[in-house]
Amino acid sequence: MKVLAIVLAGGEGKRLMPLTADRAKPAVPFGGIYRLIDFVLSNLANANYLQIVVLTQYKNHSLDRHISRTWRLSSMLGNYVTPVPAQQRLGPRWFAGSADALFQNLNLIYDELPDHVIVFGADHIYRMDPRQMVEQHIDSGADVTVAAIRQPLQLADQFGVIETDPAGRRIVAFREKPKDAVGLADAPDQVYASMGNYVFRTQSLIEALREDALDPGSKHDLGGNIIPMFVKSGGAEVYDFAHNVVPGSTERDRGYWRDVGTLDAFYDAHMDLISVHPVFNLYNDRWPIYTGQDPLPPAKFVHNDGDRIGHALESLVSPGVIVSGGTALRSILSPGVVLHSHSHVEDSVLMGCVKVGRGAIVRRAIIDKNVVIPDGARIGFDLDYDRQRFTVTDSGVVVIGKNEIVER
């Protein structure tokens, strides 16, 4: 069976502002050296799905550059990861929704003539072996298979919820953020939440996209319009993510999946990386997360004189980092970060080339690229003052955008 993978990477990412002020959401850096899109592309590549189209739309320059520099596969073998921007093939308009994005790019499917089409989102943090989902899909003969993760029943109103028949496979309802969801037959305190990952039988997908395009009342959304079509016809099945076994995974990190669509969720996902036994383990070399890195030197820790000691504890430290007499606790230091003497960074995410001046203190913050924290500055202590200058989340995380000027 021939399979084409399509990654939907056109999201504007408004809830991640200011991190998405000049980049697409899937291009936002994560975990020190990665971009959000690296996680879905790594899952597909590790599963040997090597014909991948990435549909982009908003602020796509940094995303396109990252893909073209990092994700070069062997064209001689017919493999590729190709970014495809909105081409306005059907007139001068942007994508009206995820289904419209596919409809406007049906030529890509016609060119490859696959038997099945994988459609995955680009902005979640997880490991998954999609072969297992595709195998279930093919064996079942379904028109579409929807990946779902089990979530507590009381959180049902935060997700697109999938309801199944008593056997637990065929989807009988696909409801958006219901207030009256019913628990699963084998776990009454849980529901199936859609992960935004789908496998389609190609001809069924084409027919559904054409029908949807002719409906003036449609929002042209996969979850809101296309999947309900297949539910109505009885051709939709669910894939339980709990059954997915990734090589090298442990019981602690198995089944990990995070939607990092908000700043607080983005911050929390970073904090999941830094414990001794992390909830999400970046060190699984049997299912690696691939990315591209600049040729930077190893991280360096200097000064060991009284209270002027350069060190980092319970932290991720990337290449090119210099901790020069400063301290990092429970933090992520991205390439090129410099901590000067007597600076202190804790519970924070510092992106590329952030400089923290002498004696400056940073607490519970996300600081985007190229920001300079001046000597003696304090970030994350007076949230009322920080709100006048920066973005502060509901949980009190201070977010400083790329290239912003920070006054002491």
Q: Is 177 marked within a binding site? A: yes
Amino acid (1-letter code) at residue 103: F
234/147 Cα distance (integer angstroms): 17
348/371 Cα distance (integer angstroms): 14
DSSP code for 113:
-
208/258 Cα distance (integer angstroms): 29
Per DSSP, the three-state class of 120 is strand
Q: Which helix (H) or strand (E) holds 389?
A: helix 383-389
Amino acid (1-letter code) at residue 279: V
- Using only the alpha carbons of the chain, give its radius of gyration: 22
Q: Give yes or no for a contact between 162 and 174, defined as CB atoms under 8 angstroms apart.
A: yes
Cβ count near 378 (within 10 Å): 16
CA angle (113, 105, 9) in 5-degree steps: 110
Q: Give yes or no for a contact between 309 and 325, defined as CB atoms under 8 angstroms apart.
A: yes
Q: Which residue has the tokens 């992390």?
A: 278
Query: Count of alpha carbons within 13 Å of 143, Cβ hemisphere only?
Result: 19
Q: Is 160 marked within a binding site? A: yes
Cβ count near 155 (within 10 Å): 13
| Nearest alpha-carbon partner for 71 in 57, 55, 50 | 50
36/262 Cα distance (integer angstroms): 13
Cβ count near 288 (within 10 Å): 14
Residues tagged in the binding site annotation for alpha-D-glucose 1-phosphate = 160, 176-177, 194
Residues tagged in the binding site annotation = 160, 176-177, 194
